[in-house]
Structure 1
Amino acid sequence: MLGLPKGAVFLIPWTEDWEREFILEKERIQNKIGNYTVAVHHIGSTSVKHLSAKPIIDIAIEINDFNGGEFCISPLEEIGYSYKGTEILPDRHYFSKGEPRTHQIHMYQSGNKYLLEQLKFRDYLRKYDKARVEYEQLKLKLSKTNKNNKHRYAEEKTDFVKSILEKL
Protein backbone atom coordinates (compact mmCIF):
# COMPACT_ATOMS: atom_id res chain seq x y z
CA MET A 1 0.00 0.00 0.00
CA LEU A 2 1.29 3.40 -0.98
CA GLY A 3 -0.23 6.82 -0.56
CA LEU A 4 -0.64 9.39 2.18
CA PRO A 5 -3.44 11.95 1.96
CA LYS A 6 -2.40 15.60 2.31
CA GLY A 7 -1.78 16.56 5.94
CA ALA A 8 -2.45 13.06 7.33
CA VAL A 9 0.01 11.09 9.43
CA PHE A 10 -0.26 7.34 9.83
CA LEU A 11 2.21 4.47 9.73
CA ILE A 12 1.97 1.00 8.29
CA PRO A 13 4.25 -1.97 8.93
CA TRP A 14 7.29 -2.34 6.68
CA THR A 15 6.80 -4.40 3.53
CA GLU A 16 9.15 -5.74 0.86
CA ASP A 17 6.86 -4.04 -1.66
CA TRP A 18 8.51 -0.71 -0.76
CA GLU A 19 11.92 -1.95 -1.87
CA ARG A 20 10.46 -3.30 -5.12
CA GLU A 21 8.61 -0.03 -5.74
CA PHE A 22 11.80 1.96 -5.16
CA ILE A 23 13.72 -0.19 -7.66
CA LEU A 24 11.01 0.30 -10.31
CA GLU A 25 10.85 4.04 -9.67
CA LYS A 26 14.63 4.37 -9.72
CA GLU A 27 14.64 2.76 -13.16
CA ARG A 28 11.95 5.18 -14.41
CA ILE A 29 13.95 8.13 -13.04
CA GLN A 30 17.24 6.96 -14.53
CA ASN A 31 15.57 6.42 -17.90
CA LYS A 32 14.46 10.06 -17.85
CA ILE A 33 17.34 11.94 -16.17
CA GLY A 34 20.16 9.43 -15.80
CA ASN A 35 22.59 11.73 -17.59
CA TYR A 36 22.17 14.31 -14.77
CA THR A 37 22.36 11.94 -11.81
CA VAL A 38 25.32 10.80 -9.76
CA ALA A 39 23.15 8.39 -7.74
CA VAL A 40 19.55 7.63 -6.82
CA HIS A 41 19.10 6.59 -3.18
CA HIS A 42 16.19 5.06 -1.27
CA ILE A 43 15.95 7.11 1.92
CA GLY A 44 13.48 7.60 4.74
CA SER A 45 11.78 4.97 6.81
CA THR A 46 10.55 2.88 3.87
CA SER A 47 14.23 2.18 3.12
CA VAL A 48 14.82 0.49 6.50
CA LYS A 49 13.69 -3.14 6.80
CA HIS A 50 11.16 -3.80 9.56
CA LEU A 51 10.55 -0.10 10.30
CA SER A 52 6.94 1.07 10.18
CA ALA A 53 6.58 4.13 8.00
CA LYS A 54 4.27 6.57 6.32
CA PRO A 55 3.44 4.90 2.99
CA ILE A 56 5.53 7.24 0.81
CA ILE A 57 8.70 6.23 -1.03
CA ASP A 58 11.38 8.85 -0.30
CA ILE A 59 14.02 9.18 -2.99
CA ALA A 60 17.21 11.23 -2.88
CA ILE A 61 18.67 12.11 -6.24
CA GLU A 62 22.27 13.21 -6.16
CA ILE A 63 23.36 15.57 -8.95
CA ASN A 64 26.71 17.23 -9.74
CA ASP A 65 25.38 20.77 -10.04
CA PHE A 66 22.39 22.08 -8.07
CA ASN A 67 21.36 24.34 -10.94
CA GLY A 68 21.26 21.30 -13.21
CA GLY A 69 18.14 20.26 -11.31
CA GLU A 70 16.21 22.73 -13.47
CA PHE A 71 16.82 20.46 -16.48
CA CYS A 72 15.19 17.55 -14.64
CA ILE A 73 11.82 19.20 -13.99
CA SER A 74 10.16 18.49 -17.34
CA PRO A 75 11.37 14.88 -17.67
CA LEU A 76 10.23 14.08 -14.11
CA GLU A 77 6.85 15.69 -14.77
CA GLU A 78 6.50 13.29 -17.71
CA ILE A 79 6.55 10.37 -15.24
CA GLY A 80 4.03 11.93 -12.88
CA TYR A 81 6.05 14.16 -10.56
CA SER A 82 4.99 17.64 -9.60
CA TYR A 83 7.80 20.13 -9.03
CA LYS A 84 7.40 22.03 -5.77
CA GLY A 85 10.53 24.18 -6.01
CA THR A 86 13.54 24.84 -3.81
CA GLU A 87 11.77 26.70 -1.00
CA ILE A 88 9.81 23.80 0.54
CA LEU A 89 12.82 22.16 2.23
CA PRO A 90 16.37 23.53 2.51
CA ASP A 91 19.04 23.04 -0.17
CA ARG A 92 17.07 20.78 -2.47
CA HIS A 93 14.72 20.60 -5.40
CA TYR A 94 11.55 18.92 -4.14
CA PHE A 95 9.07 16.87 -6.17
CA SER A 96 6.02 14.83 -5.19
CA LYS A 97 3.99 12.24 -7.06
CA GLY A 98 0.41 11.13 -6.66
CA GLU A 99 -2.65 12.29 -4.79
CA PRO A 100 -2.59 10.88 -2.27
CA ARG A 101 1.20 11.29 -2.38
CA THR A 102 3.04 8.03 -3.09
CA HIS A 103 6.59 9.22 -3.83
CA GLN A 104 8.73 12.24 -3.13
CA ILE A 105 12.08 13.28 -4.51
CA HIS A 106 14.69 15.29 -2.69
CA MET A 107 17.27 16.37 -5.27
CA TYR A 108 20.61 17.44 -3.80
CA GLN A 109 23.98 18.45 -5.09
CA SER A 110 26.64 15.83 -4.26
CA GLY A 111 28.17 16.40 -0.85
CA ASN A 112 25.13 18.29 0.49
CA LYS A 113 24.96 18.02 4.29
CA TYR A 114 21.26 17.09 4.32
CA LEU A 115 21.86 14.29 1.84
CA LEU A 116 24.80 12.96 3.86
CA GLU A 117 22.74 13.09 7.07
CA GLN A 118 19.86 11.22 5.41
CA LEU A 119 22.21 8.46 4.26
CA LYS A 120 24.05 8.21 7.59
CA PHE A 121 20.81 8.04 9.58
CA ARG A 122 19.34 5.41 7.24
CA ASP A 123 22.50 3.30 7.40
CA TYR A 124 22.63 3.53 11.21
CA LEU A 125 19.04 2.29 11.53
CA ARG A 126 19.76 -0.52 9.08
CA LYS A 127 22.76 -1.62 11.16
CA TYR A 128 21.48 -1.21 14.73
CA ASP A 129 18.23 -3.00 15.56
CA LYS A 130 17.95 -1.37 18.97
CA ALA A 131 17.98 2.12 17.45
CA ARG A 132 15.48 1.07 14.77
CA VAL A 133 13.06 -0.31 17.38
CA GLU A 134 13.45 2.81 19.54
CA TYR A 135 12.81 5.05 16.54
CA GLU A 136 9.78 3.01 15.52
CA GLN A 137 8.28 3.27 19.01
CA LEU A 138 8.76 7.04 18.95
CA LYS A 139 7.20 7.29 15.47
CA LEU A 140 4.19 5.18 16.48
CA LYS A 141 3.60 7.37 19.52
CA LEU A 142 3.97 10.60 17.55
CA SER A 143 1.74 9.38 14.70
CA LYS A 144 -1.07 8.88 17.22
CA THR A 145 -0.67 12.31 18.83
CA ASN A 146 -0.15 14.17 15.53
CA LYS A 147 -2.60 12.44 13.15
CA ASN A 148 -3.31 15.64 11.25
CA ASN A 149 -0.10 17.59 11.79
CA LYS A 150 2.78 16.28 9.69
CA HIS A 151 5.01 19.24 10.58
CA ARG A 152 4.70 18.65 14.32
CA TYR A 153 5.19 14.90 13.79
CA ALA A 154 8.45 15.62 11.93
CA GLU A 155 9.65 18.23 14.45
CA GLU A 156 9.12 15.91 17.40
CA LYS A 157 11.41 13.29 15.81
CA THR A 158 14.26 15.80 15.45
CA ASP A 159 15.92 15.23 18.83
CA PHE A 160 16.13 11.49 18.23
CA VAL A 161 17.59 11.97 14.75
CA LYS A 162 20.13 14.51 16.06
CA SER A 163 21.15 12.14 18.87
CA ILE A 164 21.99 9.47 16.30
CA LEU A 165 23.83 11.85 13.96
CA GLU A 166 25.95 13.13 16.86
CA LYS A 167 27.30 9.59 17.30
CA LEU A 168 28.50 9.46 13.70
Structure 2
Amino acid sequence: MPVEVVPYSEAWPTQFANVAGDLSRTLETLPVVSIEHVGSTSVPDLAAKPILDIDIIVKRQHVAAALSALATKGYVHRGDLGVTDREALEAPDEHPPRNVYVCVDGTLHLRNHLAVRDILRRRADFRERYGAVKVELARDPEIDITTYIAKKSDVLQDVLAASDLSDEEKALILKLNTSTRASATPE
Protein backbone atom coordinates (compact mmCIF):
# COMPACT_ATOMS: atom_id res chain seq x y z
CA MET A 1 0.00 0.00 0.00
CA PRO A 2 1.43 3.41 -0.95
CA VAL A 3 2.37 5.91 1.75
CA GLU A 4 0.41 9.17 1.69
CA VAL A 5 2.22 12.35 2.77
CA VAL A 6 0.34 15.65 2.70
CA PRO A 7 1.18 19.29 3.48
CA TYR A 8 0.81 20.40 7.10
CA SER A 9 -2.80 21.00 8.17
CA GLU A 10 -3.85 23.69 10.62
CA ALA A 11 -6.60 21.26 11.72
CA TRP A 12 -4.16 18.81 13.33
CA PRO A 13 -3.56 20.71 16.60
CA THR A 14 -7.33 21.07 17.11
CA GLN A 15 -7.90 17.41 16.32
CA PHE A 16 -5.21 16.49 18.85
CA ALA A 17 -6.73 18.76 21.50
CA ASN A 18 -10.14 17.14 21.02
CA VAL A 19 -8.75 13.59 21.23
CA ALA A 20 -6.52 14.50 24.19
CA GLY A 21 -9.56 15.91 26.00
CA ASP A 22 -11.48 12.67 25.43
CA LEU A 23 -8.48 10.62 26.56
CA SER A 24 -8.07 12.77 29.68
CA ARG A 25 -11.70 12.21 30.63
CA THR A 26 -11.35 8.47 30.05
CA LEU A 27 -8.23 8.35 32.22
CA GLU A 28 -9.33 10.89 34.83
CA THR A 29 -8.99 8.42 37.73
CA LEU A 30 -5.38 7.60 36.82
CA PRO A 31 -2.24 9.65 37.47
CA VAL A 32 -1.37 10.36 33.83
CA VAL A 33 1.95 12.20 33.48
CA SER A 34 0.89 13.84 30.20
CA ILE A 35 -0.74 13.28 26.84
CA GLU A 36 1.60 14.36 24.06
CA HIS A 37 1.08 15.08 20.37
CA VAL A 38 4.16 13.57 18.70
CA GLY A 39 5.11 12.64 15.16
CA SER A 40 5.05 14.87 12.14
CA THR A 41 1.48 16.14 12.58
CA SER A 42 2.70 17.80 15.79
CA VAL A 43 5.24 19.96 13.94
CA PRO A 44 3.92 23.12 12.26
CA ASP A 45 4.80 23.40 8.57
CA LEU A 46 5.97 19.78 8.27
CA ALA A 47 4.51 17.46 5.63
CA ALA A 48 3.10 14.32 7.23
CA LYS A 49 1.02 11.23 6.85
CA PRO A 50 -2.43 12.52 7.88
CA ILE A 51 -2.51 10.38 11.04
CA LEU A 52 -2.04 11.82 14.52
CA ASP A 53 0.47 10.13 16.82
CA ILE A 54 -0.47 10.43 20.49
CA ASP A 55 1.58 9.26 23.47
CA ILE A 56 -0.22 8.79 26.78
CA ILE A 57 2.57 8.88 29.35
CA VAL A 58 2.16 6.99 32.63
CA LYS A 59 4.37 5.44 35.27
CA ARG A 60 5.06 1.75 34.73
CA GLN A 61 2.70 0.65 37.50
CA HIS A 62 -0.25 2.39 35.76
CA VAL A 63 0.09 0.87 32.26
CA ALA A 64 -2.39 -1.99 32.83
CA ALA A 65 -4.98 0.34 34.39
CA ALA A 66 -4.63 2.80 31.50
CA LEU A 67 -5.10 0.01 28.94
CA SER A 68 -8.16 -1.22 30.84
CA ALA A 69 -9.72 2.24 31.00
CA LEU A 70 -9.12 2.83 27.30
CA ALA A 71 -10.70 -0.54 26.46
CA THR A 72 -13.95 0.67 28.04
CA LYS A 73 -14.02 3.40 25.38
CA GLY A 74 -13.43 0.98 22.50
CA TYR A 75 -9.66 1.17 22.16
CA VAL A 76 -8.17 -2.21 21.26
CA HIS A 77 -4.77 -3.16 22.69
CA ARG A 78 -2.39 -4.33 19.92
CA GLY A 79 0.64 -5.11 22.09
CA ASP A 80 4.01 -3.39 22.03
CA LEU A 81 4.62 -4.03 18.30
CA GLY A 82 8.27 -4.65 19.04
CA VAL A 83 8.88 -1.52 21.11
CA THR A 84 9.33 -2.27 24.80
CA ASP A 85 7.35 -0.07 27.20
CA ARG A 86 5.10 1.33 24.44
CA GLU A 87 1.67 -0.28 24.14
CA ALA A 88 -0.14 0.40 20.86
CA LEU A 89 -3.88 0.86 20.68
CA GLU A 90 -6.31 0.80 17.78
CA ALA A 91 -8.73 3.70 18.07
CA PRO A 92 -12.47 3.00 18.14
CA ASP A 93 -13.00 5.29 15.14
CA GLU A 94 -11.07 7.14 12.44
CA HIS A 95 -12.22 10.63 13.39
CA PRO A 96 -9.47 11.72 13.27
CA PRO A 97 -7.15 8.94 12.08
CA ARG A 98 -4.67 8.34 14.90
CA ASN A 99 -2.13 6.06 16.48
CA VAL A 100 -2.43 6.00 20.25
CA TYR A 101 0.23 4.61 22.55
CA VAL A 102 0.47 4.13 26.30
CA CYS A 103 4.10 4.86 27.10
CA VAL A 104 6.14 4.32 30.24
CA ASP A 105 7.52 7.63 31.50
CA GLY A 106 11.23 8.25 30.93
CA THR A 107 11.91 5.44 28.46
CA LEU A 108 14.19 5.81 25.47
CA HIS A 109 11.50 5.55 22.82
CA LEU A 110 9.46 8.24 24.56
CA ARG A 111 12.44 10.57 24.94
CA ASN A 112 13.13 9.90 21.24
CA HIS A 113 9.57 10.92 20.24
CA LEU A 114 9.78 14.11 22.27
CA ALA A 115 13.31 14.99 21.13
CA VAL A 116 12.47 14.59 17.44
CA ARG A 117 9.30 16.65 17.82
CA ASP A 118 10.98 19.43 19.78
CA ILE A 119 14.01 19.70 17.48
CA LEU A 120 11.85 19.75 14.35
CA ARG A 121 9.68 22.47 15.89
CA ARG A 122 12.78 24.59 16.62
CA ARG A 123 14.93 23.93 13.55
CA ALA A 124 13.56 24.94 10.14
CA ASP A 125 16.60 23.42 8.39
CA PHE A 126 15.88 19.94 9.78
CA ARG A 127 12.12 20.38 9.28
CA GLU A 128 12.56 21.30 5.60
CA ARG A 129 15.04 18.49 4.95
CA TYR A 130 12.91 15.88 6.73
CA GLY A 131 9.76 17.04 4.93
CA ALA A 132 11.50 16.86 1.54
CA VAL A 133 12.70 13.30 2.22
CA LYS A 134 9.22 12.20 3.25
CA VAL A 135 7.53 13.78 0.22
CA GLU A 136 10.09 12.23 -2.13
CA LEU A 137 9.70 8.76 -0.59
CA ALA A 138 5.90 8.98 -0.79
CA ARG A 139 6.13 9.67 -4.53
CA ASP A 140 7.17 6.05 -5.03
CA PRO A 141 3.90 4.13 -5.50
CA GLU A 142 5.68 0.87 -4.61
CA ILE A 143 7.03 1.99 -1.24
CA ASP A 144 5.70 0.23 1.84
CA ILE A 145 5.63 1.64 5.35
CA THR A 146 8.62 -0.39 6.57
CA THR A 147 10.83 0.86 3.73
CA TYR A 148 9.50 4.39 4.17
CA ILE A 149 10.48 4.37 7.85
CA ALA A 150 13.90 2.85 7.16
CA LYS A 151 14.73 5.37 4.43
CA LYS A 152 13.95 8.29 6.76
CA SER A 153 16.46 7.05 9.32
CA ASP A 154 19.49 8.98 8.02
CA VAL A 155 17.81 12.36 8.36
CA LEU A 156 16.32 11.35 11.71
CA GLN A 157 19.77 10.42 12.98
CA ASP A 158 20.93 13.91 11.99
CA VAL A 159 17.96 15.40 13.87
CA LEU A 160 18.76 13.27 16.91
CA ALA A 161 22.40 14.38 16.74
CA ALA A 162 21.07 17.73 17.99
CA SER A 163 19.41 16.03 20.98
CA ASP A 164 20.76 15.14 24.40
CA LEU A 165 20.44 11.40 23.71
CA SER A 166 23.67 9.44 24.08
CA ASP A 167 25.44 7.86 21.10
CA GLU A 168 24.41 4.43 22.39
CA GLU A 169 20.77 5.51 22.59
CA LYS A 170 20.89 6.95 19.06
CA ALA A 171 22.35 3.66 17.80
CA LEU A 172 19.51 1.73 19.45
CA ILE A 173 16.94 4.00 17.82
CA LEU A 174 18.59 3.57 14.41
CA LYS A 175 18.59 -0.21 14.82
CA LEU A 176 14.91 -0.23 15.69
CA ASN A 177 13.94 2.16 12.88
CA THR A 178 15.74 0.09 10.27
CA SER A 179 14.35 -3.25 11.45
CA THR A 180 11.33 -4.81 9.77
CA ARG A 181 9.43 -5.25 13.02
CA ALA A 182 8.85 -1.86 14.57
CA SER A 183 9.67 1.82 14.65
CA ALA A 184 10.82 3.89 17.59
CA THR A 185 10.05 7.09 15.77
CA PRO A 186 6.47 7.97 14.95
CA GLU A 187 5.52 9.02 11.46
Q: Mark yes or no: TM-score above 0.5.
A: yes
Return the alpha-carbon distance in structure 2 between the equivalents of residues 106 and 143 of structure 1: 24
* Alignment of 1:76 onto 2:66: no
- 2:39, 2:53 within 8 Å by CA — same for their partners in 1? yes
Scaled by the length of structure 1, what TM-score is found?
Answer: 0.87
Query: SS state of the match for residue 89, structure 1?
Result: coil
Cα separation, 2, equivalents of 1:100 and 1:28: 12
Query: Hey, what does 2:121 align to over in structure 1?
Result: 126
* 1:147–1:17 distance in 2 versus 1, CA, 3 Å: farther
Structure 1 runs not aligned, ≥5 long: 1-6
- Residues 10 and 147 in structure 1, CA contact (< 8 A), matched pair in contact too: no
Deviates more, 1:130-139 or 1:141-150: 141-150
Counterpart amino acid of residue 100 in structure 2: I
Kindly provide the CA deviation profile for residues 50-78 of structure 1, in whole angstroms up to 9, marking residues without a partner as x: 1111111100111011x522222233234
Question: Aligned ranges for residues 24-63 of structure 1 at < 5 Å?
Answer: 24-34=18-28, 35-63=30-58
TM-score (norm 2): 0.78
Tell me the CA shift for residue 11 of structure 1.
Answer: 0.9
Q: 1:112 to 1:86 in 2, by over 3 A?
A: same
Change (3 A) 1:26 1:99: closer
Distance in 2 (alpha carbons) for counterparts of 1:36 and 1:94:
19
Structure 1 contact 45–51 (Cα < 8 Å) conserved:
yes
* Offset, 1:100: 9.4
Q: Deviations over 1:111-161 (max 9, x none)?
A: 111111111111111111111011000000111226551111011111211
